[in-house]
Amino acid sequence: MLSEKLVELINKQINYEFFSEHVYLAMAAYCADEDLDGFANFFRIQAEEERFHAMKLFDYVVEMNQRVIIKNSPEPRNDYESVLQAFKAGLEHEKSNTKNIYSIADVAMEERNHATISFLKWFIDEQVEEEALMNSIIKKLERIGNDSAALYMLDTELATRAFTPPIDTTA
């Protein structure tokens, strides 16, 4: 059983994950417009992951016999000064997402809701990976600077990224 407070927080997170999908699609569109197809692919994959996260939360709420409430999302930012700026915005977005997940986990711990604590462990681990990935690419972009050949190499590398939904998301 989920308390009203947990249902409200998880519903808020479901909507935030769908908003995150739009944030990353907007970044993908920016990169595509800049002819950086590998970077566009990276952000499209990020968008797919965010939708997966939203649906994982959605399914949990339904499984707990509670109601999912979908709300309108704010309009995402669509323009950036550079791909580096897009990644820095992505990192800040992931940090905000981490904070949200931690808030839900804090309430679950306060309420001693062990099922939700267990469920959220996957999201907590995922956020560590998400922030590390964004940081890694930001560092590479900062080292690249104005080196167009290096930018092309990173763009080519990111073009190979693919989304494969985890088979077991409880581990």
Q: Domain extents for the chain?
A: 4-158
pLDDT at 19: 98
pLDDT at 170: 52
How many Cα atoms are found within 13 Å in the side-chain-facing hemisphere of 170?
Answer: 4
pTM above 0.95, yes or no: no
Class of 4-158 per CATH?
A: mainly alpha
pLDDT at 171: 45
Cβ-based neighbours of 85, under 8 Å, separated by 6 or more? none
List of the chain residues with pLDDT < 70 = 168-171
Cβ-based neighbours of 41, under 8 Å, separated by 6 or more? 28, 158, 159, 161
One-letter amino acid at 42 equals: F
pLDDT at 109: 98
pLDDT at 77: 97
Instruction: Give the Cβ contact number of residue 53 at 10 Å.
Output: 25
Name the phi and psi angles at 130, rounded to 5.
-60, -45
